[in-house]
Homo-oligomer: A and B are copies of this chain.
Amino acid sequence: MATAGSATDASLDAEPAVGPGAPAFRPLYQQIKDLITRSLQAGEWRPGEAIPSEMELAARFKVSQGTVRKAIDALADENLVVRRQGKGTFVATHAEEHTQFRFLRLAPDDGSAGPAARRFIDCRRVRAPADVARALQLRSGDAVVEVRRVLSFGGRPVVFDDLWLPGVPFRGLTAERLAGYRGPMYRLFEAEFGVPMVRADERIRAVAADATAAGVLEVPPGTPLLSVERVSFTYGDKPVELRRGLYHTAAHHYRNQLL
């Protein structure tokens, strides 16, 4: 079977489709990948849950197991999904993640990986300034939630984060909720608000500590700090967080691997 006729709950290309608009060529496994992504987006399976087995998905989409496998491989490459031999394939989650990995690329200069202590400075509903609105694809003045917090390692404040979340999915996010939660903040976002962070872009520069940052991070004003501006996305490449972080890099560094 070269072209599938139809699937149970969504449509694959019925014909090779070589119209004048030339939709080019779209491999079957990519179409399957999109269908699975759509199911993730729709919440058909929640973070941490298993998705159906390859055999089941192959039956559902009327394609071979190999094609489903390629689709899932692609999803696994993007960390949307995690494969576990003998057990199944699971929707990626920030639940385990060994606390501060994956998205916080800060490492201590020596290997000592002490646990992070969090302190929330505030959490307020505000109207989105123009730059925040632009980053989150909202309109200026739309409701957003602003959170400010500090991360400390070994008793010393190292990270000062100022972040904004769209008001609508994050209605009900309060300082108490944040302070009372055990586990990574992104885990709370996905578990309590149904917004899993899946990808992020960062822009990094060096800046001098202003009075506020100096006070929070307990350094003299003017101290060089790493400025990390991050936009995080959920499933449909939809931006759902703007974060401005200031990192004190006297005993820590931002690690990155190029390949």
Residues of chain A having any CB pair with chain B under 8 Å: 78-79, 102-103, 105, 198-208, 222, 224-227, 229-230, 247, 249, 252-259
Contacts and interface: CB of A to CB of B under 8 A. Distances in A.
Among A198, A206, A252, A258, residue most surrounded by chain B Cβ atoms (within 10 Å): A206
Given A79-B259, A256-B256, A258-B103, A224 B208 contact: yes
B206 A102 contact: no
Pick the 10 closest A-B CB pairs, nearest first: A205-B249, A206-B224, A224-B224, A206-B206, A204-B254, A203-B253, A200-B258, A202-B256, A206-B226, A199-B259
Contacts of A225: 206, 224
A114 B206 CA distance: 22
A195 to B, nearest CB: 16
Nearest to A222: B222
A3 to B, nearest CB: 20
Contacts of A249: 204-206
Contacts of A79: 259
Given A258-B103, A259-B79, A253 B200 contact: no
A76 B96 CA distance: 30
Contact of A258 (B202, B206, B253, B259): B202
Contacts of A224: 206-208, 224-225
